[in-house]
Amino acid sequence: MNTNSEGPEDHEAPEDHESPKDHKDPDGPHDPATAAPPSEPGPPGRLRRTARSRGGIAVVGALVGALLGTGFMSWRAGDLPFAPRDMCWGALSPDVAEALFTDTDVRSDELPLRRATQDSMHTECSMQGFGSDELESEVTASVRTLGELKGAQAWDWTRQYLSSRMTPLGDGITGMASSQRAWVALPTSCHERSYEPGEKPPLRVVTLASGASDPDSVNEVDARRGLDAMSRAVVRLANGVMDRYGCEGRYPDPPKLPGPPEGKSVKALDNERLCGVHGVELPGWARGEDVSAARTTPGTKPDGPVTGGVRSCDVGRPFALNRIRLTTVADPQLADVVSRVLGDRADPLGGDGKGAHAGGLAVYTADCQRGRAAFVAWEPNPADETDDTARDRRSLALTVLPSYVKTEAKRAGCGEVNVNVPNLPTT
């Protein structure tokens, strides 16, 4: 039912000038002589005692009026009172939203969905799962403009939504999903103003987030269920937002995605082909038990095209892949976001492209056939820069970045890209 259509007009009821004695009951007259005697009144209950008092009459009247008013307003809005309703700007049906949770009562609360013409567009919808009236879990839906993100905010989004846990949605949908995170890019038809030649419209996305982006342990069954639920919900969310904005086209439901990496054995690391990339070696000083396993973006191949525009690889121990992450971002709009994760205070990197490094994070960009591409090397736990010993000043990210960029840039259509890094200790 269209909730935007006007409801029936309200007309005031005409005054009734008919006297009680002139009124005729439609069911026919009642004969007092044949009427059944009234039954004995029962003991006055709390409601009856309340209704007998003047204050009680007012309270009961207010309650009845509120209930009738709720039902009437729900009817005017096109909804039945107490019936399940779509959540998050009408985008998620109850069955889609409830699949994000496990046997809980799902409730939602949302902020208004702002118009797409506002560059500051950013709104959220919180879905909460309750068990025995206690909050058990929460999923947050968001609509935001990534073009506004810089520095720590840009890196926080990149770190969470472009990790090796994320699976590309495929079928022409620019987006990814895991059991904990999901995102879909809104099409350019959602931009309601024209752009000058060469002017780039900002990238707008819808996202879903549940719990930690990189949980310590998720079993394979829960990961599969979560991935299926998140991927379907984020596409439905995108379609609902597109419908509200009047954008052209709709996305189909995603196909069954490759199995999530959670609960599966990670691959043993090949020191001569770091993350399976030919020409990228793990330096001898970094080899050992701490760097023995790798996980790559599901559905992608190291020597193949960058499916979905993003490929990440996390390296470390089998149950703690936190030694280094290598990421290639071949989608130009996403690469623009990644290029802003380091501010002006970061140390620049030379070479054929542009880049910088700070702490354990190094980002390099290059101009390619399809536009800008970005390459990231990140050490979650970098060495302490205040330590003066050569051993602790070695940077794994800067050591592997030149060979990684040179190999991946060719695959992304950028040609040969050389990176110049500072002189680093090698022993």
pLDDT in tens, 319-356: 889 999 999 999 999 999 999 999 888 999 999 999 99
pTM: 0.76
Question: 209 by DSSP, 3-state: which?
Answer: strand
Do 256 and 295 fall within a single domain? no
Instruction: From residue 140, give the alpha-carbon distance in Å to each of 29, 147, 182, 235, 427.
Output: 62, 20, 11, 15, 47
Do 275 and 410 fall within a single domain? yes
Do 98 and 161 fall within a single domain? yes
Q: How many domains does the chain have?
A: 2
Q: What is the pLDDT of residues 352-398, one digit of tens each?
A: 999 999 989 999 999 998 899 999 999 998 865 555 544 456 899 99
Do 214 and 93 fall within a single domain? yes
Last residue of a domain, one of 212, 231, 262: 262
Do 113 and 158 fall within a single domain? yes
Query: Do residues 57 and 51 lie in contact, with contact meaning Cβ atoms separated by under 8 Å?
Result: yes
Residue bearing the bigger pLDDT, 109 or 323:
323
Do 327 and 257 fall within a single domain? no
For residue 273, the enclosing domain spans 265-427
Residue bearing the bigger pLDDT, 104 or 24:
104
Residue bearing the bigger pLDDT, 203 or 18:
203
Is 391 a member of any domain? yes
Query: Do residues 413 and 369 lie in contact, with contact meaning Cβ atoms separated by under 8 Å?
Result: yes
Last residue of a domain, one of 216, 235, 262: 262
Quick one: residue 136, left, alpha or beta (phi over 0 = left, psi -120 to 50 = alpha)?
A: alpha
In the chain, pLDDT over 70 holds for what percent of residues?
A: 74
Is 63 a member of any domain? no
Q: What is the pLDDT of residues 235-269, one digit of tens each?
A: 999 999 999 988 888 999 999 998 888 767 788 99
pLDDT of 305 over the 90 cut: no
For all residues of the chain together, what is the average pLDDT? 79
Is 30 a member of any domain? no
Last residue of a domain, one of 230, 262, 294: 262
Is 1 a member of any domain? no
Residue bearing the bigger pLDDT, 315 or 26:
315
Is 19 a member of any domain? no
Residue bearing the bigger pLDDT, 35 or 246:
246
Do 110 and 219 fall within a single domain? yes
Do 288 and 344 fall within a single domain? yes
Is 235 a member of any domain? yes
b/e string for 383-404 if b means 16 or more Cβ within 10 A?
Answer: beeeeeeeeeebbbbbbbbbbb
Strand partners, 134: 131
Is 18 a member of any domain? no
Do 334 and 323 fall within a single domain? yes
Do 273 and 147 fall within a single domain? no
pLDDT of 116 over the 80 cut: no
Q: What is the pLDDT of residues 42-70, one digit of tens each?
A: 444 444 444 445 554 444 444 444 444 44
CA distance 363 to 341: 8
Do 279 and 253 fall within a single domain? no
Do 241 and 284 fall within a single domain? no
Q: What is the pLDDT of residues 162-220, one digit of tens each?
A: 999 999 998 889 999 999 999 999 988 887 666 677 777 788 999 999 988 887 777 88
Is 367 a member of any domain? yes
Query: Which residue carries 């354990």 as its tokens?
Result: 360
